Amino acid sequence: MALPTSRPTAAIPTGTGAALSSDQLLEIYYYLRLTRTLEERLVALYRQSKVIGGLFRSLGQEGESVATAYALERGRNKDILSPLIRNLGALLVMGAQPLEILRQYMAKAESPTHGRELNVHFNDLEKGYLGQISHLGDMIPVMAGIALTFKLRRESRVGLVYIGDGGTSTGTFHEGLNFAAVQRLPLVVIGEYNHWAYSTPPEKQFAVKDLAEKSPGYGIPAVTVDGNDVFAVYEATRFAADRARRGKGVQFIEVKTYRRKGHAEHDDQHYVPEGELDKWASENDPVDRYVQRLLSADLVDESDLKDIDDRVRDEVDQATDACVDEPLPDAESALPGVFVDPPVADKLWFKAL
Amino acid sequence: MAEVTFLEALRQGLWEEMERDERVFILGEDVGLYGGAFKVTEGFTKRFGESRVIDTPISEAAIVGAAAGAAHMGLRPVAEMQFIDFISCAYDMLTNYVATARYRAGLSTPMVVRGPCGGYVRGGPFHSQNPEAAFLHTPGLKIVYPATARDAKGLIKASIRDEDPVLYLEHKWLYRRIKEQLPEGEVLTPIGEARLAREGKNLSIISYGATVWKSLEAADRLAQEDGLSVEVVDLRTLLPMDDAAIVATVKKTNKVLIVHEDTRTGGIAGEIAARINEQAFEWLDGPIMRVTAHDVPLPYAPTLEDFVLPQTDDIVKAARWLAAY
């Protein structure tokens, strides 16, 4: 059967990765592998009912998540991105720890949000990530505000924000994009064309062929890249980030990719045409393609990759062991923190009876 | 007759109205082929076709606005919010456009906006909300919130037939937990009428939605452990509010506990208390008390969620205190 009409095509030349050192190439591989292995661990924990709520996979989208984040300037108070549920890889690249992700999913007291929020909904603005809320599109204007601050303070920093193909249907996406364009903000917008918004295919989501057709209407240049080609995504993002850093404004990058798992772990994907998942898995897996490129161009040794696999497995094992039996938060820790002042919400009268 | 779940009863109601009236159609995210996030509309596309079960983009404002336009033209749209938490994205459309249409412009807007609400399911801050109070303060929208399978069916049918816009809130914790035998034939629940869920004489609990069941559980325990006779009133419709049923239970038991899952401040309990104060003050033998969620966004961890939301134990303790007042 035929692949969807929007089969990945590279609209910009894909590089050789020559600009990246072999250490960097291996580091990118480390994050790809870490993303996948960590999610596989989460699946095991989900099946053991240790994950409290839903589990969301990024299988098939690790390449674009890792490559976009890797193209930013990272470290304390450098660039800032806002990841979506399928950007675990971006979060890890920016410095979030597997231990934090595991604790979030298991709602542990020691999780970054102390059990208040789910999965990747957490932040570290110094490391450079701002968690999403469930309402899609909302992070576009918020990240525009972050980029506005960079501009007002004359800082050489860039914001990057992700939006799914479905998310581009929201009003906040359009308002945020337009605002950022008018203000000529240093913002990179990654439009993830992953073919499914829950069960809704692109043709029921928008009447254009490519997401890249949307942003020119706001005066924002757009490019479409093969989202499963790590090098192409890296180069496009690097270009856009540099451009934004030079004060040239917003750039939209459409990454064509594929969501190989359901919306969440419960979703059996019965709406996906037969054979499509296998086809993407066997012919267009971003990690496989990256490894093939590295090995065929003789950029790294195979044994280096194997060492990274082992290291990742150990790290995920250690992180799991460190938190799986940790306690949930104390009940009354629900009350503080709605405001600075008053610092604690009222405990209601009947709790004292 | 077989028992049906709350969800199946809702489904039946939608199905029957679409069979009965070709003007009725459904629009929402993933409602078609997928059958909705909770499978409320599973099989509808096959029966009614894609023109009457419309899969929409992720665009709540457009869903509600388009429903309004179609309603003006004589259709009967039922708009689904995938989770009611996303109704905030259509707040402008609902409060400024839809709710005012009849009064300011004489426009008829017979439409239903429905969606899964409520907590107790570890959904975190954006998949657990109870938004009724935000809309109660908007003249022009009716709000229904069934607790039983029978009313899930009866109220969706009544909402579709109503001449004005109705916000229909369905608690996801009840979807598959509540099972009931439904009567043969047409099941219609009039909008604006509360239901006496349990008769009693010592104290009244007024509630709606999932906390009706927690209140009934508390009433059982209070009967067994304390010998207290507790009346439970299920409001079913929040707007227009059934003042007569509220006043009647106050006059009967003289003590009122209002229980709701939404947060305390600005919650509907305040409105109910004010109405009792205005209409039945002299019948009260104690203060009107509230058992509600704490005033915090709803957290994800089970320990936190259980503390923040009202539990059966909380209702039992509060009722004991009030009974002894």
Beta strands in chain A (DSSP E): 80-82, 159-164, 187-193, 222-226, 251-256
Whether A220 and chain B come into contact, CB under 8 Å, resolves to no
Nearest chain A residue to B39 by CA distance is A267
Question: Do both B44 and B98 map to the same domain?
Answer: yes
Find all residues with CB under 8 Å of B130, minimum gap 6, and list them: B84, B117, B118, B119, B169, B209, B260, B261, B262
pLDDT of residue A8: 36
> What mean pLDDT is predicted for residues A4-9?
36
Sequence-ordered alpha helix ranges (H) in chain B: 6-20, 44-48, 60-72, 91-92, 101-105, 132-136, 149-161, 210-226, 243-253, 268-280, 302-308, 312-323
Nearest chain A residue to B61 by CA distance is A171
| Percent of chain B residues topping a pLDDT of 90 | 99
Q: Which domain holds residue B177?
A: 3-181
Residues A250-289 have pLDDT tens digits of 999 999 999 999 999 999 999 999 999 999 999 999 999 9
Both ends of chain A: CA-CA distance in Å? 66
Residues B131-153 have pLDDT tens digits of 999 999 999 999 999 999 999 99
Q: Is the pLDDT of residue A5 over 80?
A: no
Residue of B30, B122, B304 lying closest to A334 (CB–CB): B304
Whether A334 and chain B come into contact, CB under 8 Å, resolves to yes
pLDDT of residue B122: 96
Q: What amino acid is encoded at B99 in this protein?
A: A
pLDDT of residue B1: 66
- As a whole number of Å, the CA-based R_g of chain B is 19
Nearest to B13 by CA among B167, B174, B152: B152
Which positions in chain B touch A136 (Cβ < 8 Å)?
58
Distance CA A235, CA A231 (A): 6
Find all residues with CB under 8 Å of A321, minimum gap 6, and list them: none
> What mean pLDDT is predicted for residues A126-153?
98
Which helix (H) or strand (E) segment holds residue A141: the answer is: helix A139-152
Domain count, chain B: 2
Q: Of chain A residues 52-71, which have a CB less than 8 A from chain B? A: 52-53
Residues A331-341 have pLDDT tens digits of 999 999 999 99
Q: What CATH number corresponds to the domain at position B235?
A: 3.40.50.920
Residue of A135, A170, A199 lying closest to B34 (CB–CB): A199
* DSSP helix/strand/coil, B25: strand
Residue of A204, A206, A331 lying closest to B306 (CB–CB): A331
Q: What CATH number corresponds to the domain at position B42?
A: 3.40.50.970
Decide: B170 and B144 in contact? Cβ < 8 Å. no
* DSSP helix/strand/coil, B83: coil
Cα dihedral B42/A172/A161/A238 (nearest 10): 120
Question: Do both B30 and B159 map to the same domain?
Answer: yes
Q: Within a domain: residue B190?
A: no
Q: Find the angle CA(A155)-CA(A140)-CA(B59) to the nearest 5 degrees.
A: 170
pLDDT of residue A7: 36
Residue of A135, A172, A333 lying closest to B304 (CB–CB): A333
Residues B98-136 have pLDDT tens digits of 999 999 999 999 999 999 999 999 999 999 999 999 999
Residues A245-257 have pLDDT tens digits of 999 999 999 999 9
Q: Is the pLDDT of residue A305 over 90?
A: yes
Interface predicted TM-score (ipTM):
0.94
Question: Do both B36 and B172 map to the same domain?
Answer: yes
Q: What amino acid is encoded at B220 in this protein?
A: D
Question: Do both B145 and B233 map to the same domain?
Answer: no
Which positions in chain B touch A137 (Cβ < 8 Å)?
58
Which helix (H) or strand (E) segment holds residue A105: the answer is: helix A98-105
pLDDT of residue B154: 98
Which positions in chain A touch B126 (Cβ < 8 Å)?
133-135
Q: What amino acid is encoded at A202 in this protein?
A: P
Decide: B231 and B200 in contact? Cβ < 8 Å. yes
Q: Is the pLDDT of residue A216 over 60?
A: yes
Q: Which residue has the tokens 């603005």?
A: A125
Q: Is the pLDDT of residue A160 over 50?
A: yes
Which positions in chain A touch B294 (Cβ < 8 Å)?
334-335, 345-348
pLDDT of residue A10: 35
Decide: A85 and A120 in contact? Cβ < 8 Å. yes
Q: Within a domain: residue B188?
A: no
pLDDT band with cut points at 50, 70 and 90 for residue A240: very high
Which positions in chain A touch B304 (Cβ < 8 Å)?
115-116, 328-329, 331, 333-334
Residues A309-336 have pLDDT tens digits of 999 999 999 999 999 999 999 999 999 9
Q: Do A350 and B122 count as a contact with CB atoms less than 8 A apart?
A: no
pLDDT of residue B2: 83
Whether A264 and chain B come into contact, CB under 8 Å, resolves to no
> What mean pLDDT is predicted for residues A179-186?
98
Question: Do both B217 and B176 map to the same domain?
Answer: no
Residues B47-94 have pLDDT tens digits of 999 999 999 999 999 999 999 999 999 999 999 999 999 999 999 999
Distance CA A244, CA A236 (A): 12
CATH of A22-352, one of 3.40.1280.10, 3.40.50.620, 3.40.50.970, 3.40.1710.10: 3.40.50.970
Decide: A286 and A63 in contact? Cβ < 8 Å. yes
pLDDT band with cut points at 50, 70 and 90 for residue A18: low
pLDDT band with cut points at 50, 70 and 90 for residue B207: very high
Q: Is the pLDDT of residue A131 over 70?
A: yes
Final residue of a structural domain among B181, B206, B225: B181
pLDDT of residue A4: 38
| Percent of chain A residues topping a pLDDT of 70 | 95
Number of H helices, E strands in chain A: 10, 5
Nearest to A351 by CA among B185, B146, B63, B308: B308
Label the pairing between strands A159-164 and A80-82: parallel
Select the residue from B294, B295, B317 to test the A interface by mutation, using most A Cβ atoms within 10 A: B294
Question: Do both B92 and B206 map to the same domain?
Answer: no
Question: Do both B22 and B141 map to the same domain?
Answer: yes
Q: Is the pLDDT of residue A17 over 70?
A: no
Q: Within a domain: residue B189?
A: no
Q: Do B292 and A348 count as a contact with CB atoms less than 8 A apart?
A: yes
The C-alpha of A301 sits at a distance from chain B's nearest C-alpha, in angstroms, of: 44
Which of these is catalytic: B127, B137, B171, B294?
B127
Nearest-10 crossing angle of helices B210-226, B312-323: 50
Question: Do both B50 and B148 map to the same domain?
Answer: yes
Q: Within a domain: residue B186?
A: no
pLDDT of residue B28: 98
Asked whether the bond before B183 is cis by omega within 30 degrees of 0, the reply is: no
Q: Is the pLDDT of residue A11 over 90?
A: no
Question: Do both B112 and B58 map to the same domain?
Answer: yes
Residues B160-188 have pLDDT tens digits of 999 999 999 999 999 999 999 999 899 99
Residues A45-85 have pLDDT tens digits of 999 999 999 999 999 999 999 999 999 999 999 999 999 99
Which helix (H) or strand (E) segment holds residue A317: the answer is: helix A302-323
Question: Do both B66 and B131 map to the same domain?
Answer: yes
* Residue B260 falls in the annotated catalytic set: no
| Percent of chain B residues topping a pLDDT of 70 | 100
Residues A223-236 have pLDDT tens digits of 999 999 999 999 99
pLDDT of residue A16: 52
Q: Do A271 and B33 count as a contact with CB atoms less than 8 A apart?
A: yes
The C-alpha of A114 sits at a distance from chain B's nearest C-alpha, in angstroms, of: 8
Final residue of a structural domain among B132, B151, B181: B181
Distance CA A328, CA B192 (A): 42
Find all residues with CB under 8 Å of A105, minimum gap 6, and list them: A42, A45, A46, A51, A52, A53, A55, A118, A119
Whether A343 and chain B come into contact, CB under 8 Å, resolves to no
Asked whether the bond before B57 is cis by omega within 30 degrees of 0, the reply is: no
pLDDT of residue A19: 80
Whether A141 and chain B come into contact, CB under 8 Å, resolves to no
Of A11-15, A28-32, A210-214, give the lowest mean pLDDT range: A11-15
Question: Do both B242 and B290 map to the same domain?
Answer: yes
DSSP state of A117: S
Distance CA B151, CA B171 (A): 12
Q: Which residue has the tokens 């992070």?
A: A139
Which positions in chain A touch B55 (Cβ < 8 Å)?
200, 204
Q: Is the pLDDT of residue A14 over 70?
A: no
* DSSP helix/strand/coil, A92: helix
Decide: A113 and A106 in contact? Cβ < 8 Å. no
Q: Of chain A residues 94-113, which have a CB less than 8 A from chain B? A: 107-109, 113
Q: Find the angle CA(B176)-CA(B178)-CA(B179) to the nearest 5 degrees.
A: 100
The Cβ of residue A209 has, within 10 Å, a number of other Cβ atoms equal to: 13
Residue of B82, B88, B302 lying closest to A107 (CB–CB): B302
> What mean pLDDT is predicted for residues B26-43?
97
Q: Of chain A residues 190-209, which have a CB less than 8 A from chain B? A: 197-200, 204-206
Nearest to A41 by CA among A335, A332, A319: A319
